[in-house]
Amino acid sequence: MLPNCPITKADITHAEEILGPNLGSLKGKTTRTKPSKVIIDTYNELPREMLAKHGNVTLAVDIMYINQIPFMMMTSRAIHFGTAELIKNEKISTIMVAIKQVLEAYKARGFQIRHILADGQFEHARKHIEQMGIILNITSHDEYVPEIERYIRTVKERVWAIVNTLPFEQYPNRLIVKTVYNAVFWLNYFPHKDGIHPTLSPRTIITGSTIDYNKHCTLQFGT
């Protein structure tokens, strides 16, 4: 049906055996496979005795710097749920936005923040914090809140451990930020030895979400 064509059926058969199928046809004609269904595994109900005993939460806050990048760091007593939030500056408005986001997370699970422990750099936010019905406790001069200082040290240790396994020579700010978030993620996803529950992790207690190997452990960070 194609006059003067020098290509025979045997030529096509040999070409497919040597070169494989036509990549253009495969990519152009192959339809998208149906993605697997997203299954949300949550722990919806908290034990009533947990809320009765630990419903009032004390939060420790501070600002952490890594390569001069500021993060708003928070962790709670007893529950030991830690958070890290990238902030662009240390203005009252920026700090309060970060604090309110964490307060909403606790509130959604039935917890109430009653006290916030911080050092002197948060004194300028006292009015805004106390307007929300929270007591702000500022440390004395040259003193620090031990809970948040220890938590920041732990996060930095995890970040350094991750960085030492990465093959990169340069670390852009976005990679550093994601490294911090990854460290906090894994710290929250295992029960704390001094926590309020032997098997529920801090993240499960506060957010209701659980961990899954196929979703969270398939690839190493930085891959």
Q: Is residue 42 part of a domain?
A: no
Q: Is residue 41 part of a domain?
A: no
Length of the chain: 223
Which is nearest to 188 in space by CA: 74, 98, 67, 90?
Answer: 74
The tokens for 13 are 């058969």
Does the structure show a pLDDT above 70 at 66?
yes
Q: Is residue 25 part of a domain?
A: no
Q: Is residue 35 part of a domain?
A: no
Number of domains the chain contains: 1
Per-residue model confidence as pLDDT tens digits over 119-170: 988 999 999 999 999 999 999 887 889 999 999 999 999 999 999 988 888 8
Q: Is residue 152 part of a domain?
A: yes
Question: Structural domain of residue 209, as residue ranges?
Answer: 48-216
Burial 25-64 (b: 16+ CB within 10 A, else e): eeeeeeeeeeeeeeeeeeeeebeeebeeebeebbbbbbbb
CA dihedral of 84, 158, 216, 46, whole degrees rounded to 10: -50
CATH classification of the domain holding 65:
3.30.420.10
pTM of the model: 0.77
Q: Is residue 22 part of a domain?
A: no
Answer for the pair 123, 110: CB distance below 8 angstroms, yes or no. no
